């Protein structure tokens, strides 16, 4: 549509709209000039692994050894490696809906079975301990956690993290904790990672981190997993037969990012906080639209159920309608196992958010 000259506004992509900060770009350029264009160890360059160790000690409240770290081609690649290692055919993995659709597909690619535990906006999309317990069977091997969350923007408080950790310990389960949005939190929310709870929890946790969201480095494709040594070794062995190493000079840029001035992250996080507040103000002007307050990430997870069932059958049809008629791109909630919703990213400028909210309101007004 854009190629045909149509003014489409996209709120569908999960990607910061800033360029990568210049000091990180310069570090990668320097690495290229120094000939850092060859293969690297499958687990990752020592300079990046050491930066990761400093980062977890400084920011995440736990320490790790080099043999616990595997650097991969983005956090998504880390997740794939983890599920391939942890799941045998027929093993079950608990997912909390709404969830990023890749979790279910990657569990299936490992011949595992996704088991869905629903959450709701009323409690900030945090899981209920009793619901988790009822979903566990003898085949359950993994609990997949994502806080702050894509798509909801929900973020778990420490009590929830501790409750899930206790369940995992009781049932001898591995926690796969996707914490890629760790630095993008609002309203004073303090991110709590599983591994920082203590050695017992860390010994059964695969922590997924990366530079894509925090440092606006989505195209660099650098993520890393921190896990018990035996899991890390298995993940590295799989990766060795698939991609070998993540891009060498991109790892140099990632190392520079992790050691960079915290002001780089703080500036971007402050911009997202401003956009979040402005977006909620604009979207809440729309009658009938449910707009929860996201505690993290950069998504509004909008309840559009009041506008469905008549002319527009479901959220997938609504997303098509909004694209065709209002020229705004969103993602239907059904993709995330949450029908009746759409995901609306605020990784866009204030003027774009204002115009997108206006178009959304006009489009929905005709459906009530």
Q: Give 308's pLDDT tier (boundaries 50, 70, 90).
A: very high
Residue 368 predicted with pLDDT over 80: no
Q: Give 153's pLDDT tier (boundaries 50, 70, 90).
A: very high
Residue from 36, 38, 37, 42 nearest 244 by CA:
42
Average pLDDT over residues 68-89: 98
Q: Give 306's pLDDT tier (boundaries 50, 70, 90).
A: very high
Are 95 and 119 a contacting pair, CB within 8 Å? Answer: no
Residue 367 predicted with pLDDT over 90: no
Distance of CA 283 to the CA centre of its chain: 23
**CA 316 to CA 337: how far, in whole Å?**
12
CB atoms within 10 A of CB 189: 17
**CA 193 to CA 177: how far, in whole Å?**
8
pLDDT of res. 366: 80
Average pLDDT over residues 207-214: 97
**CA 205 to CA 49: how far, in whole Å?**
18
Residue 107 predicted with pLDDT over 90: yes
pLDDT of res. 353: 97
**CA 149 to CA 101: how far, in whole Å?**
12
Average pLDDT over residues 287-301: 97
State the DSSP H helix or E strand holding residue 342, giving kind and residue range, or none if neither: strand 341-345
Give tens-digit pLDDT for 227-276. Answer: 999 999 999 999 999 999 999 999 999 999 999 999 999 999 999 999 99
Residue 148 predicted with pLDDT over 70: yes
Residue from 221, 200, 57, 215 nearest 49 by CA:
57
Q: Give 365's pLDDT tier (boundaries 50, 70, 90).
A: very high
Query: Rounded mean pLDDT of the chain?
Result: 97
Residue 136 predicted with pLDDT over 80: yes
Give tens-digit pLDDT for 173-182. Answer: 999 999 999 9
Give tens-digit pLDDT for 81-96. Answer: 999 999 999 999 999 9
pLDDT of res. 81: 98
Average pLDDT over residues 16-41: 96
Average pLDDT over residues 344-359: 97
Average pLDDT over residues 29-54: 98
The share of the chain scoring above pLDDT 90, in percent, equals: 98
The structure's pTM equals 0.96
């Amino acid at each position: 549509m854009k190629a045909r000259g149509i003014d489409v506004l996209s709120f569908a992509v999960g990607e910061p709209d800033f360029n990568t900060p210049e000091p990180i770009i310069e570090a990668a350029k320097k690495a290229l000039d120094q000939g850092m264009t060859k293969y690297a160890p499958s687990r990752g360059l020592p300079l990046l692994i050491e930066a990761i160790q400093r980062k977890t000690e400084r920011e995440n409240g736990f320490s790790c050894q080099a043999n616990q770290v595997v650097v991969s081609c983005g956090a998504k690649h880390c997740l794939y490696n983890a599920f391939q290692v942890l799941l045998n055919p027929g093993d079950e993995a608990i997912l909390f809906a709404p969830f990023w659709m890749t979790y279910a597909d990657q569990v299936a690619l490992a011949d595992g079975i996704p088991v869905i535990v629903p959450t709701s906006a009323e409690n900030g999309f945090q899981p209920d301990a009793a619901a988790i317990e009822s979903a566990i069977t003898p085949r359950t091997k993994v609990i997949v956690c994502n806080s702050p969350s894509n798509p909801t923007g929900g973020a778990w408080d420490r009590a929830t993290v501790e409750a899930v950790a206790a369940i995992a310990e009781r049932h001898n389960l591995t926690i796969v904790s996707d914490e890629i949005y760790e630095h993008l939190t609002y309203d004073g929310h303090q991110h709590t990672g599983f591994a920082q709870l203590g050695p017992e929890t860390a010994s059964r946790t695969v922590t997924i981190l990366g530079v894509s969201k925090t440092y606006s480095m989505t195209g660099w494709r650098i993520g890393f997993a921190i896990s018990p040594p035996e899991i890390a070794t298995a993940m590295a062995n799989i990766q060795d037969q698939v991609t070998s190493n993540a891009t060498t000079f991109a790892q140099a840029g990632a190392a520079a990012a992790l050691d960079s001035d915290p002001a780089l992250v703080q500036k971007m996080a402050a911009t997202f906080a401003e956009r979040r507040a402005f977006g909620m103000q604009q979207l809440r002007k729309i009658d009938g639209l449910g707009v929860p307050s996201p505690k993290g990430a950069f998504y509004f997870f909008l309840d559009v159920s009041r506008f469905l069932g008549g002319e527009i059958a479901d959220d997938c049809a609504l997303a098509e309608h909004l694209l065709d008629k209002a020229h705004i791109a969103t993602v239907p909630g059904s993709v995330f196992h949450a029908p009746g919703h759409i995901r609306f990213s605020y990784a866009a400028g204030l003027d774009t958010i204002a115009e997108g909210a206006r178009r959304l309101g006009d489009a929905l007004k005709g459906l009530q």
